[in-house]
Amino acid sequence: MKKLFGTDGIRGIAGQSPLDAATIYAIGLALAHHLGTAPRVLLGMDTRESGEWIAATLTAGLCAGGASVESAGVITTPAIAFLTHTHGFSAGVVISASHNPWQDNGIKVFGPDGYKLADAIELAIEDEIFRQLAASTTPPQQTKPPAVNDADRADYVRFLLAAVPGLSLDGKCIVVDCANGAASTVAPQLFAELNANGGGEAIITHASPDGRNINESCGALHPSVVAAEVVAHKASLGITFDGDADRALFADEHGSVVNGDAVLLLAARDLQARGLLANDTVVATTMSNMGLEAALKRSGIQMLRANVGDKYVLEQMIATGAALGGEQSGHIIFTGRSTTGDGLLTALLLLDIVHRSGKSLSELVADLKVFPQVIVNVKVREKRPLEGIPAVASAIRAAEVELADSGRVVIRYSGTEALARVMIEAESEPLMRHHADTIADAIRAELGV
């Protein structure tokens, strides 16, 4: 069982284990050793103030292990995945904690094919990390990150634009919320080029990172912010990214939030209409709403559910040959176009669907009738198996029995934070809230901070 890697890399509070200097240096050494002889590693990061020293320490470990390191600087996670594969790097590493607060950071690793590492590989790297730590390998006192190659960002923007040839803003006004994160370095250039011929307007917001304002009252964690800005500017739609821009959420022209489930629906129907939806199948997760499943079924589309985490969605997509998959949170994967969730790519493809349809975003998702759903996050001090805690197990069983075929109960630990997530979905909102609160209270009583 992995101890360092979660569902999206290694994550924690910057400066504390497992993101203390000794462990970061050991991670660099272990990764370099795993990659073989003279590997080349591409490094990127989001806008957190801890990014620079983590990059420097990680680079020192990688170089000590025999690797050479190139930096793309502040750039999105999917950009590193794309550049790693297309430029022939042995691995790509992103220093980011995605949607977490600024005090946190993380280390994500992509293989030479641009895909996130398999669990077995992460476990093997973990074993080496612990061996290095046991040997008390000391990181150098003074290190600095490698120089930044700005050409990498330009290559990524060209890739994005090539995915939607001929697309323009088509006279529309859109609002783009960069979450004061990695999208801040890419989105302004991308949308300026998209609107090079004029006729539209892209209002870029929250693109002034200061190292501590990433995800702060903005971005995909707070989609109501961009929704309100759409209304204020009388815009056609809004786009909002998380800290490393591997996911995106949207707002329609009325200021209603359009989440990943809705994006999956309209993308699936568009691909199906063009004969590009392999096996008429979409892969979602256990968190996707039953309303999505029903809407897809009306269009003759099967929905499969994977474990939460875009890497697990992708695994099931590959296993079943599906061309589309994603998460309610906004990670959307189009196989053949990307190897991971890419918020900027998703945004362009959605704009393209809206343009070709001649309809508004609200019209395209109008028949998605969602079941009432609530998610309660409970901070926990440890992640004990919930089925082994009698009070919690009893509360979960009671919810499952009463809701039966009229709802769903999904209880899981976050793979990136010290949280237990209680998700209840039901036709009856009072029942939904009752069972969510009951289960959350039981977890809080046994494991709460």
Residue pLDDT, tens place only, 73-126: 999 999 999 999 999 999 999 999 999 999 999 999 999 999 999 999 999 999
Complete DSSP assignment for 105-170: EEEEEE-TTSSBPPHHHHHHHHHHHHHHHHTTPPPPSS--PPPB-THHHHHHHHHHHHHSTT---T
> What band does 142 get if pLDDT is binned at 50, 70 and 90?
low
- For residue 116, count CB atoms less than 10 angstroms from its CB and return exposed for 0-12, middle for 13-18, buried for 19 or more: buried
With 70 as the cut, is the pLDDT of residue 24 above it? Answer: yes
Tokens of 114: 């641009």
With 90 as the cut, is the pLDDT of residue 150 above it? Answer: no
Contacts of 401 (CB under 8 A, 6+ apart): none
Q: Which residue has the tokens 């999904």?
A: 410
Contacts of 273 (CB under 8 A, 6+ apart): none
Helix 151-163 to helix 343-357 angle (10° resolution) is: 30
Contacts of 358 (CB under 8 A, 6+ apart): none
> What band does 199 get if pLDDT is binned at 50, 70 and 90?
confident
Q: Judge if the upstream peptide bond of residue 18 is cis by omega within 30 degrees of 0.
A: yes
With 90 as the cut, is the pLDDT of residue 361 above it? Answer: yes
Find the Cα–Cα–Cα–Cα dihedral 176, 179, 180, 184, rounded to 10°: -40
| For residues 185-207, average pLDDT | 92
Could you tell me which of 294, 312, 314, 311 has the C-alpha nearest to residue 302? 294
* Alpha carbons 72 and 52: distance in angstroms, whole number: 12
User: Which pLDDT score, from 0 to 100, does residue 249 have?
Assistant: 98
The answer to whether the CB of 282 falls within 8 A of the CB of 296 is yes
- Between 373 and 211, the more confident residue is 211
Contacts of 411 (CB under 8 A, 6+ apart): 386, 396, 420, 421, 422, 423, 439, 443
User: Which pLDDT score, from 0 to 100, does residue 196 have?
Assistant: 83
CA 335 to chain centre: 16
pTM of the model: 0.89
The answer to whether the CB of 162 falls within 8 A of the CB of 344 is no
* Alpha carbons 94 and 42: distance in angstroms, whole number: 9
Q: What is the pLDDT of residues 238-264, one digit of tens each?
A: 999 999 999 999 999 999 999 999 999
The answer to whether the CB of 237 falls within 8 A of the CB of 254 is no
With 80 as the cut, is the pLDDT of residue 141 above it? Answer: no
Could you tell me which of 288, 290, 291 has the C-alpha nearest to residue 310? 288
Q: What is the pLDDT of residues 372-411, one digit of tens each?
A: 889 999 999 999 999 999 999 999 999 999 998 788 999 9
* Alpha carbons 176 and 179: distance in angstroms, whole number: 9
Tokens of 213: 């304002």
Q: Which residue has the tokens 């025999």?
A: 66
Beta strands at 302-306 and 324-326: parallel, antiparallel or unpaired: unpaired
Q: What is the pLDDT of residues 217-242, one digit of tens each?
A: 999 999 999 999 999 999 999 999 99
User: Which pLDDT score, from 0 to 100, does residue 386 have?
Assistant: 94
With 80 as the cut, is the pLDDT of residue 368 above it? Answer: yes
| For residues 4-33, average pLDDT | 95
Q: Please give the share of the chain, as a percent, with pLDDT higher than 70.
A: 100
The catalytic site residues sit at 98
CA distances from 115 to 44, 93, 320, 421 (A): 15, 11, 17, 27
Give the domains, in start order, of the chain with CATH numbers. Answer: 5-151 (3.40.120.10), 170-257 (3.40.120.10), 260-364 (3.40.120.10), 373-447 (3.30.310.50)
Backbone angles phi, psi at 293, to 5 degrees: -60, -40
Contacts of 22 (CB under 8 A, 6+ apart): 133, 137, 138, 139
* Alpha carbons 319 and 226: distance in angstroms, whole number: 36
Q: For all residues of the chain together, what is the average pLDDT?
A: 94
Complete DSSP assignment for 174-230: EEEE-TTSGGGGTHHHHHHHHTTT-S-EEEEES----SS-TTTT-GGG-HHHHHHHH
Tokens of 72: 């793309």
| For residues 51-61, average pLDDT | 95
Which one-letter DSSP state was computed for residue 410?
E
User: Which pLDDT score, from 0 to 100, does residue 93 have?
Assistant: 98
User: Which pLDDT score, from 0 to 100, does residue 1 have?
Assistant: 75
